[in-house]
């Protein structure tokens, strides 16, 4: 039976503020999955804390709404244990660039075949408006009442220097191009990060109109295998580019784990118990 968008919707109704960019992102994910015809029961979505953390509630997948900042290593565990699954990690700018920022470098080193959607609204929205690692310099928030005095983190160059094997930036309020990028990310074998700009209506630092004015797709001839060009364009702030900056093929965590098993596991003589017996005997 042919699937519909409904197959990817859970029975729980989204609870984001009216006009939140996350609605469009949710539909884009569902549409990308539908277009790729991935069975919902073979998808695991792990999310962190914050507005974006709720995303897993609304997908009809095996969904795990975990703790703040730990979506990436949790998703890594899922994928390492069951590589046949399609795995998502979802988090916001606080989750992925603040509390959980350290995990991304290491999941990238392992090239875990997961899709990490980092949804940036430049503010801690769920807790009603505190400074995030991407809040612009000088902006007044609840925890920077006299203006933000730190520099913002620039996510794309960070991911490029981690050698993440798929790095993209997307406009959260442009569902068509977002769906396209998500489909590429899901199809990519290895760690893919889609950094999605999503305006927060309640504490607006980004807005749809403003995004449209500053964002511009990468040139059509952008070479996705050239990291230096990718870095140069990643650092550009006028315009801010969207699209796939970089994509490279390298062994995934599953490939690496399987290589070790192939090298040392000898269960030719009766499977698991034979290998276990050999292991025990080695301690005699």
Partner 1 sequence: MLIIAETKRVLKNFMHTHPEMGTLEMEGNQNHSETDFAIRIGGEGGEGVISAGELFAQVAARTAYQVFTYITYPAEIKGGFSMIQIRIKHEKIYSMGSTVDYLIAFNQQAYDVTIKDLKPGGTLIYDPDEVEIKEDLNAECYPIKLTKLVVDATGAKLGKNVVALGALGHLFGVEFGVLEKLIKDRYGAKGGDVIKNNLNALKAGYFTAEEGNWEKKFKLVSDTQAKEHYMLISGNEAVALGAIAAGCRFVAGYPITPATPIFETLTDLMPKVGGRAIQLEDEIASLSACIGASFAGEKAITPTSGPGLQLMGEQLNLASMLELPLVIVDVQRGGPSTGLPTKTEQSDLKFAIYGTSGEAPRVILAPSSVEDCFYQTIRAFNISERLQMPVVVLTDQSIGYRKATVRMPDLSKIIEVDNSVSGETISIPSPEKIELASRIQMDPEKLNEYKRFLDTATGVSPITSPGLKGGQYLGGGLEHDETGKASYLPDNHLKMMRKRFKKLETLTHILEKNPPEYEGPEEAKIGVIGWGSTEGAIREARMLAEQRGILFRHLHPKILSPLPESQVRNFLAGLKQVIIVEENFTGQFAHFVKAKFGIKPIEIHKSEGVPITPEEIFTGIEKVARIVDEKNIARL
Interacting residue ranges for partner 1, rule: CB under 8 A: 10, 12, 39-44, 46, 56-57, 60-67, 70, 73-82, 84-85, 102-103, 105-106, 110, 253, 257, 260-261, 263-267, 272-273, 275-281, 283-284
- Contact in structure between 181 and 194 (CB atoms under 8 Å): yes
For the CB of residue 160, give the shortest distance to partner 1 in the complex, in Å.
20
**∠ CA 39-16-177, rounded to 5°:** 55
Nearer to partner 1, 82 or 128 (CB): 82
For the CB of residue 89, give the shortest distance to partner 1 in the complex, in Å.
10
Nearer to partner 1, 72 or 205 (CB): 72
Nearer to partner 1, 15 or 137 (CB): 15
Half-sphere exposure at residue 1, Cβ-oriented, CA atoms within 13 angstroms: 5
For the CB of residue 230, give the shortest distance to partner 1 in the complex, in Å.
25
For the CB of residue 211, give the shortest distance to partner 1 in the complex, in Å.
30
Name every residue whose Cβ is closer than 8 Å to that of residue 281 and which is 6 or more positions away in sequence.
none
For the CB of residue 53, give the shortest distance to partner 1 in the complex, in Å.
9
CA–CA distance, 79 with 87 (Å, rounded to integer): 6
Nearer to partner 1, 66 or 94 (CB): 66
- Contact in structure between 200 and 20 (CB atoms under 8 Å): yes
Where are the alpha helices (H) located in the chain, listed in sequence order? Answer: 21-36, 71-81, 93, 101-110, 155-161, 175-187, 208-214, 227-235, 253-264, 272-281
Nearer to partner 1, 102 or 147 (CB): 102
CA–CA distance, 257 with 32 (Å, rounded to integer): 29
């Amino acid at each position: 039976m042919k699937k519909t968008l409904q197959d990817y919707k859970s029975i729980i109704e989204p609870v984001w503020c009216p006009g939140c960019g996350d609605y469009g992102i949710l539909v884009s994910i569902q549409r990308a999955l539908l277009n790729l015809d991935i069975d919902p029961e073979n998808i695991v979505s792990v999310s962190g804390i914050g507005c974006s953390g709720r995303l897993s509630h609304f997908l009809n997948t095996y969904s795990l709404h975990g703790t703040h900042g730990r979506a990436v290593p949790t998703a890594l565990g899922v994928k390492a244990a069951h590589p046949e699954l399609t795995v998502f990690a979802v988090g916001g700018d606080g989750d992925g660039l603040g509390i959980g920022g350290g995990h991304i470098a290491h999941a990238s080193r392992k090239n875990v075949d997961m899709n990490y959607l980092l949804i940036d609204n430049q503010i801690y929205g769920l807790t009603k408006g505190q400074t995030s690692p991407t809040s612009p310099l000088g902006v007044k928030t609840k925890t920077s009442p006299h203006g933000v005095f730190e520099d913002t983190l620039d996510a794309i160059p960070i991911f490029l220097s981690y050698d993440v094997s798929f790095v993209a930036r997307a406009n959260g309020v442009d569902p068509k191009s977002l769906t396209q990028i998500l489909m590429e990310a899901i199809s990519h074998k290895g760690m893919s990060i889609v950094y999605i700009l999503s305006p927060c209506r309640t504490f607006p630092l980004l807005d749809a109109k403003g995004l449209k004015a500053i964002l511009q797709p990468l040139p059509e001839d952008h070479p996705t295998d050239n990291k230096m060009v990718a870095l140069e364009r990643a650092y550009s702030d006028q315009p801010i580019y969207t699209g796939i900056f970089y994509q490279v093929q390298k062994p995934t965590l599953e490939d690496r784990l399987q290589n070790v098993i192939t090298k040392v596991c000898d269960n030719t003589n009766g499977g698991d118990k034979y290998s276990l017996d050999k292991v025990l005997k080695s301690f005699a």
